[in-house]
Structure 1
Amino acid sequence: MSTPAAPARHVPESVHRRRWAILGVLMMSLLIVVLDNSILNVAIRTISTPAPTGLGATQSELEWAINAYTLVFAGLLFTAGLVGDRVGRKKVLLGGLSVFGLGSVLAAFSASPGQLIGWRALMGLGAAFVMPATLAVLMNVFERDEQPKAIGVWAGGVGLAIAIGPITGGLLLDHFWWGSVFLVNVPIVLLALALMLWLVPDSRDPHPGRLDPVGVLLSVVGLVLLVYGIIKGGQLADLTDPTVLTTAGAGLAVLVAFVVFEARSDHPSLDVRYFRNKVFSASIGAVALVFFALMGVMFFAVFYTQSVRGYSPLETGLLMLPIAVAQMFFAPRARLLVDRFGNRATTTGGLLLLASMLAAFTLLDRDTPIWLMEAVFFLMGAGMAHVMTPVSVLIMQTLPREKAGRASAVSNTFRQVGGALGVAVLGSVLSAAYRNSIEDELAVLPPGVRHAAGESIEATLAAADRLGPSGQVLAGTAGEAFVHAMHVTALWGAGVALAGAVVTALFLPGRNPAPPENGERGQELVKAAD
Structure 2
Amino acid sequence: MSASSPTATPGATTPSGREQRDARRAKAQGNPWLTLVAVALGVMMVGLDGTVVGVANPTIAADLDASLSGLQWVTNGYLLALAVLLILGGKLGDRFGRKKVFVIGIAGFALTSLGCALSPDIGTLIVFRVLQGVAGALLMPNTLALIRSAFPPAELNRAVGIWGGSSALAVASGPIIGGLLVEHVSWESIFLLNLPLGLLAMVVALAWVKESKDEGHTGSFDVPGVGLLSGGLFLVVWALIKAQDKGWGSAYVLLFALAGVVVLGLFVLREHRAEDPLLPLDIFRERSVWAGTLLVVVGFFALFGVLFFIGLYLQNTHGYSPVQTGVRMLPLTAMFVVSAPLGGWMTETYGPRPPLILGMVLLVVAFFGLSQLEVDTSYNGQWPYFLIIGLSFGLVIVSTTQAILGNVPVERGGVAGGLQSTAQQLGGVLGTAVFGSIIASKVTSSLGDELASRNVPGPVAAIVDKAGELVSQGVSPVDAEKAPQSLIAGIAQASGGTPSPQLTASIRDASYATFIDGLHAAMYVGVGLAVVAAVLGLLVSRGRELEDDEVAGA
Shorter-chain-normalised TM-score: which range? 0.7 to 0.9
Is this contact kept in 2: 1:464–1:471, CA < 8 A? no
Is this contact kept in 1: 2:474–2:511, CA < 8 A? no
Aligned to 2:318: 309
Instruction: Supply the distance in 1 between the matched residues of 2:151 and 2:410 (Cα, whole angstroms).
Output: 10
Query: 1:493 aligned to 510, 526, 542, which one?
Result: 526
Residues 293-304 of structure 1 mapped to structure 2, 5 A cutoff? 293-304=302-313
User: CA offset at residue 460 of structure 1?
Assistant: 5.6
Q: SS of 1:363's equivalent?
A: coil
Instruction: Supply the distance in 2 between the matched residues of 1:195 and 1:332 (Cα, whole angstroms).
Output: 30
Instruction: Supply the distance in 2 between the matched residues of 1:326 and 1:252 (Cα, whole angstroms).
Output: 37
Is this contact kept in 2: 1:355–1:498, CA < 8 A? yes
Residues 131-280 of structure 1 mapped to structure 2, 5 A cutoff? 131-138=140-147, 156-205=165-214, 206-236=216-246, 238-280=247-289
Aligned to 2:349: 340
Instruction: Name the amino acid aligned to 1:32.
Output: M
User: CA offset at residue 357 of structure 1?
Assistant: 1.0
Aligned to 2:110: 101
Deviations 1:220-278 (A, max 9, x none): 11111110100000233x10011111011101110111111111111211111221222
Query: 1:47 aligned to 60, 63, 66, which one?
Result: 60
Residues 442-461 of structure 1 mapped to structure 2, 5 A cutoff? 443-445=458-460, 447=462, 450-453=465-468, 456-458=471-473, 461=476
Is this contact kept in 2: 1:170–1:313, CA < 8 A? yes
Is this contact kept in 2: 1:82–1:269, CA < 8 A? no
- Which structure is larger by alpha-carbon Rg, 1 or 2? 2
Query: 1:478 aligned to 511, 515, 522, which one?
Result: 511
Instruction: Supply the distance in 1 between the matched residues of 2:373 and 2:158 (Cα, whole angstroms).
Output: 37
Q: SS of 1:364's equivalent?
A: coil
User: CA offset at residue 212 of structure 1?
Assistant: 1.1
Pair 279,147 (structure 1): closer, same or farther in 2 beyond 3 Å: farther
Instruction: List runs of 5+ in structure 1 lacking aligned partners.
Output: 1-13, 517-530
Instruction: Supply the distance in 2 between the matched residues of 1:18 and 1:332 (Cα, whole angstroms).
Output: 29
Q: 2:72 aligned with 1:63, yes or no? A: yes
Instruction: Supply the distance in 1 between the matched residues of 2:184 and 2:228 (Cα, whole angstroms).
Output: 43
Instruction: Name the amino acid aligned to 1:46.
Output: T
Instruction: Supply the distance in 2 between the matched residues of 1:99 and 1:454 (Cα, whole angstroms).
Output: 33
Is this contact kept in 2: 1:156–1:327, CA < 8 A? no
User: CA offset at residue 497 of structure 1?
Assistant: 2.3
Instruction: Supply the distance in 2 between the matched residues of 1:249 and 1:83 (Cα, whole angstroms).
Output: 32
Q: SS of 1:317's equivalent?
A: helix
Instruction: Supply the distance in 2 between the matched residues of 1:198 and 1:393 (Cα, whole angstroms).
Output: 36
Instruction: Name the amino acid aligned to 2:544.
Output: P
Instruction: Supply the distance in 2 between the matched residues of 1:118 and 1:353 (Cα, whole angstroms).
Output: 37
Bigger mean CA deviation after superposition, 104-113 or 459-468: 459-468
User: CA offset at residue 180 of structure 1?
Assistant: 1.2
Instruction: Supply the distance in 1 between the matched residues of 2:197 and 2:226 (Cα, whole angstroms).
Output: 29
Q: 2:47 aligned with 1:34, yes or no? A: yes
Instruction: Name the amino acid aligned to 1:372.
Output: G
Q: SS of 1:445's equivalent?
A: helix
Is this contact kept in 2: 1:346–1:386, CA < 8 A? yes
Instruction: Name the amino acid aligned to 1:216.
Output: V
Instruction: Supply the distance in 1 between the matched residues of 2:408 and 2:199 (Cα, whole angstroms).
Output: 33
Instruction: Supply the distance in 2 between the matched residues of 1:257 and 1:356 (Cα, whole angstroms).
Output: 38
Instruction: Supply the distance in 1 between the matched residues of 2:243 and 2:156 (Cα, whole angstroms).
Output: 43
Deviations 1:418-461 (A, max 9, x none): 11111111111111123323133454537466333455345862
Instruction: List runs of 5+ in structure 2 lacking aligned partners.
Output: 1-26, 452-457, 481-487, 492-498, 548-554
Q: SS of 1:368's equivalent?
A: coil
Instruction: Supply the distance in 1 between the matched residues of 2:545 and 2:171 (Cα, whole angstroms).
Output: 33
Pair 485,448 (structure 1): closer, same or farther in 2 beyond 3 Å: closer
Deviations 1:291-346 (A, max 9, x none): 11111111110111011110001110111111111101221343222222221112
Pair 381,20 (structure 1): closer, same or farther in 2 beyond 3 Å: farther
Percent identity between matched residues is 34
Pair 75,161 (structure 1): closer, same or farther in 2 beyond 3 Å: same
Is this contact kept in 2: 1:435–1:456, CA < 8 A? no
Aligned to 1:375: 384
User: CA offset at residue 384 of structure 1?
Assistant: 0.7
Pair 247,457 (structure 1): closer, same or farther in 2 beyond 3 Å: closer
How many residues are treated as equivalent by the alignment? Answer: 495
Is this contact kept in 1: 2:439–2:472, CA < 8 A? no
Q: Give TM-score, length-normalised by structure 1.
A: 0.86
